[in-house]
Amino acid sequence: GAVVSQHPSWVICKSGTSVKIECRSLDFQATTMFWYRQFPKQSLMLMATSNEGSKATYEQGVEKDKFLINHASLTLSTLTVTSAHPEDSSFYICSARDKAPEAFFGQGTRLTVV
Amino acid sequence: DQQVKQNSPSLSVQEGRISILNCDYTNSMFDYFLWYKKYPAEGPTFLISISSIKDKNEDGRFTVFLNKSAKHLSLHIVPSQPGDSAVYFCAALYGKLTFGQGTILTVHP
């Protein structure tokens, strides 16, 4: 399958600071990228969908000013958690797809806000 | 509103036997269905998919069956191996992927 690389795999930050997570499609051009959040023992919750060169579409209840998404190229999307608080601690996962239905996922990022 | 449901939180199977993972959905607009395997603290790995116009797709030990009238799909793993132990998510596509809650599969040696 196609390869999606997510970085960093884990990060600890202080409350009030911002954290940037990168998602790269390594061997294909991702027309669409998705950002998910997973709480312990729960399913993946879609946060937002981004298409290259356009603004992200956020799911209901997701604060767009808090979770900034940039999809500047066909191989890179970034998620910035601004002014992070302990309740933002979670496992964040990106996925990417081209025109095919299958989406491929990054390794995930464990964010801990202290 | 849970549009994709995996009603079995867990499944335990003996090595060599068949594992059957089930998934139900409510939205008839879904046009593609996918199964993913996930280990803790990792992203999901794509396993197999099926278009809504088909009723079966097979890839090695994995077969997915789709019953559109019942809005039900299942993943069969034959023979099951200990390395198959993981959380399995079904997902349905209509513009975006909607995931079920996942089923923890444990394959005992």
- How far apart are alpha carbons A57 and A94 in whole angstroms? 14
pLDDT tens, residue by residue, A45-104 = 999 999 888 889 999 999 999 999 998 899 999 999 999 999 999 999 999 999 888 999
Tell me phi and psi for residue A87, to 5 degrees.
Answer: -70, -10
Of the candidates A43, A93, A101, the beta carbon closest to that of B101 is on A43
What lies within 8 Å, CB to CB, of A55 at 6+ separation is none
In the structure, how many helices (H) and strands (E) does chain A have?
0, 11
Task: Kindly determine whether residue A101 and residue B98, on different chains, have CB atoms separated by under 8 Å.
Answer: no
Inter-residue contact A76 to A22 (CB < 8 Å): yes
Task: Kindly determine whether residue B36 and residue A105, on different chains, have CB atoms separated by under 8 Å.
Answer: yes
Judging contacts by C-beta atoms under 8 Å, the chain A residues touching residue B99 are 43-44
Judging contacts by C-beta atoms under 8 Å, the chain A residues touching residue B49 are 101-102
> How many other C-beta atoms can be found within 10 angstroms of the C-beta atom of residue A41?
10
- How far apart are alpha carbons B14 and B19 in whole angstroms? 9
**pLDDT per residue as tens, chain B (109 positions):** 689 999 999 999 999 999 999 999 999 999 999 999 999 889 999 999 999 999 999 999 999 999 999 999 999 999 999 999 999 999 999 988 999 999 999 999 9
